Amino acid sequence: MNFEPYFPPKMLTLISTYQCTAACPNCCFQCNPQRTERLTIEEMESIVEYCAKKFPSIELVVITGGEPFTLGSDLYAIIKKISSFGKMSRIVSNAYWASSYSKAVDIIQKLQDCGLTEINYSTGDEHQKFVQYDNIINAIQAALDNNMAVAVNVESALNKDFKSDILYKDTKLSKYLKDKEKYPIFRINNGKWIEKQSTVNEKGNFSYTTSIDSTCTSILTNICISPDMQYLSCCGFFNIKNKYLNYGFVTANNLETIHKKQFDDILKLWLYLEGPLKIAQSINRYAKKELIKIENKHMCEVCNLILSNEQFIDMIKSNISKELPRLILKYDICRRIENNSKYLAYEKGK
């Protein structure tokens, strides 16, 4: 059995629209109600069908934005399409539509009928200027009462007033949090939230510290399509602003080629294998001084600092031969483990 020299993708992310009912100042895509860019239902269905057939390794399709519910009936149609291929699906929403518990239940049940398997809600200081806290509670309760997996992502930074503890202490959520056996599908996360203006030496304001060993779990394994049909190397912050992460217009004729092309880029492999913080450490080591401060910064922030700075890219190019033996060995081991897992699964299914 021949093994392909690349990792098969595990996830498809459709940034379905840049239109949103909110206009958070630090939204990574700068979404707002006035923006009109979106994927058509024909484009979304074509991408889902192509990826489901070409990449059977894809397990999950994420519909995000912007606010996916601004798609109207097209949102339900694409969830049905995803379900028809036996794939799990997730929606990321601000829950503006959950103005009452009964209304939220109606929408959740309709989504379930279409095959939705998980819903994620975003909230925090900036979101709540546009969507009331009660909407989030209504949306959480409606989903959990109908046995749908729920994750709540809270804007997390030291300068935020709204903390995830507020949700943990809310009496309306206590039964879901206490009974893990009945509600094992409820998660509250300190979500990524990065201020737009980030500089090399600025101290990050995150309330958590990214481990130096954190690797990028999105690059190479996640096919990400923007509302204007651009292939993005990851679904993280800054991806639409960084030309290095944008592979241009995607069609049914070039999607697979673009995906595989990324594996010819040693820097992308380095991000996948060891993460941007380790790369930043190497840059500091090359320079023999601290050019990039990584304390309290999220790895997406550090990644953007590296990829958007030509000086850092040139330093990596000049010194990459020192890193290659280790990276090639790691990549080969990871590739063999991945493909042997595919082979074992293939043999078991025969």
- Cβ burial of 18 (10 Å; 0-12, 13-18, 19+) is buried
Per-residue pLDDT of 186-231, as tens digits, reads 999 987 776 665 444 444 454 445 677 788 888 888 999 999 999 9
Per-residue pLDDT of 51-66, as tens digits, reads 999 999 999 999 999 9
Per-residue pLDDT of 215-272, as tens digits, reads 888 888 899 999 999 999 887 766 666 788 888 899 877 899 999 999 889 999 999 9
Answer for the pair 73, 41: CB distance below 8 angstroms, yes or no: no
Q: What pLDDT is stored for residue 243 in this prediction?
A: 82
Task: Tell me what percent of the residues of the chain surpass a pLDDT of 90.
Answer: 65
Per-residue pLDDT of 312-339, as tens digits, reads 999 999 999 999 999 999 998 888 877 6
Q: Which domains occur in the chain, in start order?
A: 11-265 (3.20.20.70), 267-349 (no CATH)
Answer for the pair 212, 277: CB distance below 8 angstroms, yes or no: yes
pLDDT, average across residues 40-54? 95
Q: What are phi and psi of 82, to 5 degrees?
A: -60, -45
